[in-house]
Chains A and B, each alone.
Chain A
Amino acid sequence: MSTYAAPLKDMQFVIEELVGLADITAMPVCSEVTADLVEAVLGEAGKFAAEVLDPLNRIGDRQGAQLANGKVTPPAGFAAAYKQFTEAGWNSLSGPTDFGGQGLPHIVAMAVQEMWNSANMAFCLCPMLTSGVIEALKLRGSPEQKKLFMGKLVTGEWSGTMNLTEPQAGSDLSAVRTQARPEGDHFRIKGTKIFITWGEHDMSQNIVHLVLARTPDAPEGVKGISLFIVPKFALNADGSPGGRNDVKCVSIEHKMGIHASPTCVMAYGEGEGAIGYMIGAENRGLETMFIMMNHARLGVGLEGVALAERAYQHALDYARTRVQGRAIGQKSGDRVTIINHPDVRRMLLTMKSQVEAMRALAYTASAALDKAHHHPDEAERKRNQAYVDLLIPIVKGWCTEQSIDVASTGMQIHGGMGFIEETGAAQYLRDARITAIYEGTTGIQAADLVGRKIGYEKGATAAVVIAQMRATAKALAGHAHADIAAQHAAFVRAVDALAAATQWVVDTFPKDPNAVAAVSVPYLKLWGIVAGGWLMARAAGIASVKLAAGGDPEFCKTKIATARFYIEHILPQAPALAEEVTGGAASVLAMSDAQF
């Protein structure tokens, strides 16, 4: 079994050099976030992830969360780890400073969360959902609600959940039926919610459920849904947890992965109705949910990066130790470790190069989010918001789909042993599979991309990003480093493919949205691959400058070689995908339902 080691060098390179920590630090609210502070935080988080969370990952997978008599018990060691996690202050990393949080920028939280997810994604889901509730309170909470809930959620003494889905309301939330009846200063909630992650457990002292529900005279559809806070233990007058609220977990799901994370069916109001407090304006709940969901989608995209990284480390460890066969062309002599076999090297590089491209893309979106929130100049804030809005469905859709591929390749490197659970490679594949489904499936991400993010604005933001890619392409041509200059033609072909497909989407969307929807997922994948290639090319350029200036030679040379592999092995998919986008819609729509 491999042990997790946080990829600190690559994380720091991406944060400091590629997305530019200096730009973040230049913003007044982030002035304390110096490179040495980031290094200290990442270093300690890496240690905690490796020593506390990673060893529990397998135990969590094998034991799973257990439900008995309405109580959910997490796997052995999880409660103690949660206590250690919150006591060490990690839950408060990006929380607001006026409620005891450390107020660190999103980009730092991003790297730290990647570590938690790599080490133990099932565990990490609990604090991740808590931060979603904190975000909702920050956005729409009344001063009184903030005072009651925020402090405890920031420390992690209380945890949070999101209650959207109902049996008949999955991707289509307009079908939500849970009822909220006003009663004095609160509401009584009745209904059933499913797929509630960490909906019930005893690691925290209270659980703050965010619940979508309808008030009695709410209009039909999405414009009649409000958002409520429903604590597991109703609050006493002084804000401390009192008696049990009328909400309970009635069952937990048997899942393919993330076994340690209880996925609950929650019953609200089997008795007199659960006490809930409306957050934000009546009938505007979905709006708040969507702002939060943007964060959450970036977070799930990051889960893809994290699992891919962990699967790579696991496969690399095996490839370095497993001895099998002689080197090609050798009839005698010592047998070699499988990392010496060209096809295994190719698989390892497929994993490594995509992990780095995915990390670069996810962190780029995160830095843009910081600038969209904190930049002193309003035009810059707007520009970055548009950028991050475009990137989020790509990060979520592409990084999660690729994490499944990467984890599957990791299993392949193990050969037959990979199919055996004891080896540990299978868990990463099983855990990765959900990331492309929850918080909006890849299809939903692609619909968001071609509709809200490209179609409605006629590709304006996309054009800006493509222009930046062309600027990078120009810098590649005639680059002093031969390995980088050689990538120019392939990179230009890929950007041309993206530009042509984008033009087709912009032209076709107003007159035939069905055709665009039919090829939206390959279009999203095209974006991911080309954007990843763009950032890898830029990373190689930066690495060559650093190399010439006496930077870490091993890291810089590895980065340049990895970028070259990506451009030669991954990027050639771009023209093929563009062809599928621009010419493939008709055949999707050609058959009648009966012909399937």
Chain B
Amino acid sequence: MKVLVGVKRVVDPNVKVRVKADGSGVETANIKMAINPFCEIAVEQAVRMKEAGIVTEILVVTVGLPQCQETLRTAMAMGADRGILVETDVDVQPLAVAKVMKAIIAKENPQLVIMGKQAVDNDCNQTGQMVAALMGWPQATHISKVEPAGDHAEVTREVDGGLETLTIKLPAVVTADLRLNEPRYVTLPNIMKAKKKPLEVIKPDALGVDVTPRLTTLKVVEPAKRGSGVKLADVAELVNKLKNEAKVI
């Protein structure tokens, strides 16, 4: 079975994010970048399935700047077989990425698409769902387990208040949650090997996809700083403050 994994390059989760001075977004220049943690889990899952003999080929795909090649190399060092970068300097939004993915799926015919449930930069949690919708495929989001068997797969989803086990028909799209697995440390020999694995760079135009943003960002601001607390005399004063100052009741 062939698996396609979508990955995204994001600001390293260990780096403190700063808003750009002009409020147009967050600073990414000269900041340490990394593979989105949920995407890393998605790659790990594909690699484990390959090691278990279920998967024959792992293709990783990303959309973005030329530097996103590093993210693909990381995925290939983990065990993916080849990568495709759809290169654009547009700040792509989920729908555009989903359309790109659809175009690549049409060319590559994977039986399973694994993506992170969301990226830690803008927390959209949309791309996987959109890919499934555009393809007309079943989707299982926020999964903590996936076991393909023949023309279907059994998946466990993390839902409010518990776990939901479903059977979905393949081909399908699944999105990885935190507990699906714990990604491995990349080994040095595999970093070296990843350099030699095939990495194709194409433009969105070549896929016939228009990646122009449909949404406009008006302003990005840091959350307001929390002020110091005050000590109140009694419940009456608290109710009064909640009513008249905070205006929440």
Please report A residues at the B interface, Cβ cutoff 8 Å: 5, 8, 32, 34, 36-37, 39-41, 44, 47-48, 51-52, 84, 87-90, 92-93, 102, 552-555
B175: interface (CB < 8 Å): no
Tell me which residues across on chain A come within 8 A of B191, comparing CB atoms: 37, 40-41, 44
Taking a contact as CB atoms under 8 Å apart, the answer to whether A8 and B77 are in contact is: no
Taking a contact as CB atoms under 8 Å apart, the answer to whether B187 and A87 are in contact is: yes
| Complex CA–CA separation, A554 to B185 (angstroms) | 30
Please report B residues at the A interface, Cβ cutoff 8 Å: 14, 29-30, 32, 70, 73-74, 77, 185-192, 194-195
Tell me which residues across on chain B come within 8 A of A34, comparing CB atoms: 195
| Complex CA–CA separation, A51 to B185 (angstroms) | 10
Tell me which residues across on chain B come within 8 A of A32, comparing CB atoms: 192, 195
| Complex CA–CA separation, A48 to B77 (angstroms) | 15
Taking a contact as CB atoms under 8 Å apart, the answer to whether B189 and A89 are in contact is: yes
Taking a contact as CB atoms under 8 Å apart, the answer to whether A102 and B188 are in contact is: yes
Closest 3 CB pairs of A and B: A89-B188, A552-B30, A89-B187
Taking a contact as CB atoms under 8 Å apart, the answer to whether B195 and A48 are in contact is: no
- Listed A/B pairs (17) with beta-carbon separation below 8 Å: A5-B14, A32-B192, A40-B70, A40-B77, A40-B194, A41-B188, A44-B77, A44-B188, A44-B191, A48-B185, A52-B185, A87-B187, A89-B187, A92-B189, A102-B189, A553-B30, A554-B30
Contact of B70 among A39, A87, A102 (CB under 8 A): A39
| Complex CA–CA separation, A447 to B191 (angstroms) | 43
Taking a contact as CB atoms under 8 Å apart, the answer to whether A40 and B73 are in contact is: yes
Taking a contact as CB atoms under 8 Å apart, the answer to whether B32 and A93 are in contact is: no
Taking a contact as CB atoms under 8 Å apart, the answer to whether A88 and B185 are in contact is: yes
Tell me which residues across on chain A come within 8 A of B188, comparing CB atoms: 41, 44, 88-90, 92-93, 102
Tell me which residues across on chain A come within 8 A of B32, comparing CB atoms: 8
- 4 more A-B residue pairs beyond the given contacts A37-B195, A40-B70, A89-B189, with a C-beta to C-beta distance below 8 A: A37-B192, A44-B185, A48-B185, A92-B189
Which of A36, A87, A89 has most chain B Cβ within 10 Å? A89
Q: A5-B14, A32-B195, A555-B30 are known contacts. Are A40 and B187 too (CB-CB below 8 A)?
A: no
| Complex CA–CA separation, A520 to B10 (angstroms) | 52
Tell me which residues across on chain B come within 8 A of A555, comparing CB atoms: 30
Q: A552-B30, A554-B30 are known contacts. Are A47 and B185 too (CB-CB below 8 A)?
A: yes
Q: B191 → chain A, closest Cβ, in Å?
A: 5
Taking a contact as CB atoms under 8 Å apart, the answer to whether A102 and B192 are in contact is: yes
Tell me which residues across on chain A come within 8 A of B30, comparing CB atoms: 552-555
Tell me which residues across on chain B come within 8 A of A40, comparing CB atoms: 70, 73-74, 77, 191, 194-195
Tell me which residues across on chain A come within 8 A of B192, comparing CB atoms: 32, 37, 102
Q: Whose C-beta in chain A lies nearest to the C-beta of B194?
A: A40
Tell me which residues across on chain B come within 8 A of A47, comparing CB atoms: 185
| Complex CA–CA separation, A40 to B77 (angstroms) | 10
Q: B21 → chain A, closest Cβ, in Å?
A: 12
| Complex CA–CA separation, A37 to B190 (angstroms) | 12
| Complex CA–CA separation, A88 to B184 (angstroms) | 10
| Complex CA–CA separation, A554 to B194 (angstroms) | 32
Tell me which residues across on chain A come within 8 A of B29, comparing CB atoms: 552
| Complex CA–CA separation, A102 to B195 (angstroms) | 13
Tell me which residues across on chain A come within 8 A of B185, comparing CB atoms: 44, 47-48, 51-52, 84, 88
| Complex CA–CA separation, A154 to B192 (angstroms) | 16
Q: A5 → chain B, closest Cβ, in Å?
A: 7
Tell me which residues across on chain B come within 8 A of A554, comparing CB atoms: 30
Q: B193 → chain A, closest Cβ, in Å?
A: 10
| Complex CA–CA separation, A37 to B70 (angstroms) | 10
| Complex CA–CA separation, A552 to B31 (angstroms) | 9
Q: A323 → chain B, closest Cβ, in Å?
A: 14
Tell me which residues across on chain A come within 8 A of B14, comparing CB atoms: 5
| Complex CA–CA separation, A40 to B194 (angstroms) | 10
Q: B16 → chain A, closest Cβ, in Å?
A: 12
Contact of B186 among A44, A93, A102 (CB under 8 A): A44
| Complex CA–CA separation, A87 to B188 (angstroms) | 9
Q: B106 → chain A, closest Cβ, in Å?
A: 31
Tell me which residues across on chain B come within 8 A of A41, comparing CB atoms: 188, 191
| Complex CA–CA separation, A82 to B32 (angstroms) | 28
Q: A119 → chain B, closest Cβ, in Å?
A: 14
Q: A337 → chain B, closest Cβ, in Å?
A: 16
| Complex CA–CA separation, A44 to B186 (angstroms) | 7
| Complex CA–CA separation, A51 to B14 (angstroms) | 12
Tell me which residues across on chain B come within 8 A of A36, comparing CB atoms: 70, 73
Q: Whose C-beta in chain B lies nearest to the C-beta of A550?
A: B29
| Complex CA–CA separation, A88 to B185 (angstroms) | 7
Q: A151 → chain B, closest Cβ, in Å?
A: 14
| Complex CA–CA separation, A5 to B32 (angstroms) | 12
| Complex CA–CA separation, A48 to B192 (angstroms) | 17
| Complex CA–CA separation, A32 to B196 (angstroms) | 10
Q: Whose C-beta in chain B lies nearest to the C-beta of A51?
A: B185
| Complex CA–CA separation, A418 to B73 (angstroms) | 42
| Complex CA–CA separation, A41 to B30 (angstroms) | 19
Q: Whose C-beta in chain A lies nearest to the C-beta of B32?
A: A8
Tell me which residues across on chain A come within 8 A of B194, comparing CB atoms: 40
Tell me which residues across on chain A come within 8 A of B186, comparing CB atoms: 44, 88
Q: A425 → chain B, closest Cβ, in Å?
A: 22
Tell me which residues across on chain B come within 8 A of A93, comparing CB atoms: 188
Q: Whose C-beta in chain B lies nearest to the C-beta of A103?
A: B192
